[in-house]
Amino acid sequence: MDASDFDFAPAHALGALVRSGEVSPVALMERSVARIGELNPLLNAFVEVDEEGALREAEALAKRIEQGEEVGQFAGLPLGVKDLENAAGFTTTKGSRLYRDNRVDFDDVLVERLKQAGAIVVGKTNTPEFGHIPFTDNDLFGPTLNPWNLERTPGGSSGGSAAALASGMVPLATASDGGGSIRIPACYTGLYGLKPSHGRVPIAPRPMPSWLSLSVYGPLTRCVHDAALYLDVVAGPDPADPESLPAPGLSYVAALEEPLPKLRIAFNETLGVTRVQRDVLREVRAALDAFAAMGHEIVETSDTIPEMGGWWARVSAFQSLGLEWDNYSTRHDEFTERYVRQLDRALDAGPEDFQEFLRRRGELVAWTTRVFDEFDLLLTPALPTEAFGPSGPIPSEIEGEPANGIAYTYPFNFTGHPAASVPAGLTDAGLPCGLQIVGPRHRDDLVLQASYALEQARPFPALPGSGASILERRQQP
């Protein structure tokens, strides 16, 4: 293989080539760090890179392979770690000036399991401050740009990981989702992103575990097979995460090869809370037609869900304020103004607010229970628009009418259901858009199977090609 062939090869295929000895992990890492050096000054996907350390690890792995040692499924794969997550020897800044010097000496369980499978951490990827907005920009490192169009965001909060994957810098990166932070960047960059069931992947260690039960770790990848393999590697309980689920008792990769039964599928165009950009809806409906062509029953519904967006912001702000109270009370000026406004909202939250939040969350859970009593899957657009500007704002209107730019993702963080963004096609501006597939509780396998079936029937749009073509986008208006 020519080194340029590594750039967009599936992670599972690269791992197999490394294990067989056909591709050297050193050559793979050299190509990755060269591409980061070429493209990162433009895209700002990585905020820290350890080229020397990554190459040393690749050389050590090459010797182990030469000696006939067994190595993992992700052997030699360069790995980007989102800067909300911990990787030993790297700084976890959380996108905040407060943590600019927070170099850690431990791995999160997620990172540890990926490393045990052979992945090599090459660097940390950009995220908005504390991951609290759906585009990737912060005062410490600045905005990350979308490889499809340098005037657009790759989304957030896993936008650095998305830009790194979509531009071919690395074949593997971590991501997390507390309101859409895997699915939003997946949609905006033409990747596949799965928010697994809550607790499927441990979030640990943490000195103060979350109590809202919204955030999950999950795969953000260039194909569904890679996501299934990623989940095979990282899923399973850990005693440091009290909410982690038992081992799934199956292989998600093996599940992809099982025939998909005929399904009864609900499609809701707006969830009753937003409009949809016309060309986005065109592509989403084309993806929906692909399921109909497979023989599945499609039923259009018009339910209106309890709107949670404002309540998510108010109540999650209270949790965020608790986590950062020491800094808020002593180093207030080091937060960005945008995040201070978010934290300040918590100061006005009272028992009535919590009661209303809990009531609406209960209504939403009851609604999803009714949906999955009647249907096997729920489909919606992943997002109602194409990608917007690198520093916002989030779209608040579509075609002159009020809209909610991220309406479809966060409801399923409140309910805990597995939900994926699958590439659906390209808008008139040549930008990716996505279809969201939501599955019954704990049926991550079914969401992956349905995603894989759609990928086979309607192949994902090709990612932005060579480094030269991405660099040429600098000239686009």
- CA dist., res. 287 & res. 324, Å (int): 43
> In sequence order, which residues have a C-beta less than 8 Å from that of residue 445 and are 6 or more positions away?
248, 250, 252, 255
CB contact at 8 A, 419 and 436: yes
Residue 20 appears among annotated catalytic residues: no
Residues in the chain: 477
- CA dist., res. 258 & res. 273, Å (int): 36
Q: Beta partners for 46?
A: 125
Burial of 3 (0-12, 13-18, 19+ CB in 10 A): middle
| β-strands 419-426, 192-195 pairing | antiparallel
H helices within 67-158, ranges in order? Answer: 109-116
At 447, which amino acid appears? Answer: V
CB contact at 8 A, 172 and 80: yes
- CA dist., res. 385 & res. 427, Å (int): 9
Q: Which of 323-349 are b and which e, b meaning 16 or more Cβ less than 10 Å from the residue's Cβ?
A: bbeeebeeeeebbbeebeebbebbeeb
| Element at 337 (helix H, strand E) | helix 337-346
CB contact at 8 A, 154 and 187: no
Residue 82 appears among annotated catalytic residues: yes
| β-strands 264-268, 297-301 pairing | parallel
> In sequence order, which residues have a C-beta less than 8 Å from that of residue 99 and are 6 or more positions away?
91, 92, 93
DSSP 363: H
CB contact at 8 A, 234 and 114: yes
Pick the catalytic residue from 181, 215, 244, 451.
181
Pick the catalytic residue from 32, 82, 94, 161.
82
At 2, which amino acid appears? Answer: D
**DSSP string over 426-455:** E-TTS-EEEEEEE-STT-HHHHHHHHHHHH
Pick the catalytic residue from 157, 167, 215, 320.
157
Instruction: Kindly compute the dihedral angle of the four CA atoms of residues 344, 347, 348, 354, in this order, to the nearest 10 degrees.
Output: 110
> In sequence order, which residues have a C-beta less than 8 Å from that of residue 270 and are 6 or more positions away?
276, 302, 407
Residue 96 appears among annotated catalytic residues: no
H helices within 199-277, ranges in order? Answer: 224-234, 252-256
| Element at 12 (helix H, strand E) | helix 11-20
CB contact at 8 A, 55 and 26: yes
Catalytic residue ranges: 82, 157, 181
